[in-house]
Amino acid sequence: MKKLKLKELESRLQQVDDFENPKLLLEQYPTRPHIAACMLYTIHNTFDDIENKVVADLGCGCGVLSIGSVMLGAGLCVGFDLDADALEIFSRNAEEFDLTNIDMIQCDVCSLPARISKTFDTVIMNPPFGTKHNKAYSKESR
């Protein structure tokens, strides 16, 4: 596999579609290609935690971090998200890039068992910023 340079990864990630109608309570906002590329490039080149690894992307949304991980050589990347609409966009993105070693699971990542970390070599996620909204959503949805 050809080793991607940071700018090439960022350029490819600019082609990933993001939310058409983001849901505020789910804190759906796009992870910008520059941030995603820098984050993944550092994880890959500094810590060697992407290539040939099994990667989990928690709260994957439209899949930019998952797709970037696969572009950097992840053996398998599994994205987890609560929202079916986000996973539909993710699925279209993965199909557009013709990626086969990528999968997605619809679930509430807060309900995943702690042992899930033993299933994956690397766990990535875009950090939650508005936890106040998450708490409100959790109370309403249970």
Specify the pLDDT at position 101: 96
- The predicted-structure confidence for 39-96, as pLDDT tens digits, reads as follows 999 999 999 999 999 999 999 999 999 999 999 999 999 999 999 999 999 999 999 9
Instruction: For residues 44 and 42, give the distance between their C-alpha atoms in angstroms, rounded to a whole number.
Output: 5
Specify the pLDDT at position 139: 44
- Kindly state the tokens that stand for 41: 């490039």
1 band by pLDDT with thresholds 50, 70 and 90: low
- The predicted-structure confidence for 7-30, as pLDDT tens digits, reads as follows 999 999 999 999 888 888 888 888
Instruction: For residues 85 and 98, give the distance between their C-alpha atoms in angstroms, rounded to a whole number.
Output: 20
Helix, strand, coil in percent for the chain, rounding step 5: 45, 15, 40
Which residue has 């079916």 as its token pair? 84
pTM of the model: 0.86
Specify the pLDDT at position 122: 96
Closest among 37, 47, 94 to 68, alpha carbons compared: 37
- The edge-to-edge listing of strands for the beta sheet with 54-58 is 102-106, 76-81, 54-58, 122-124
Closest among 34, 31, 69, 65 to 49, alpha carbons compared: 69
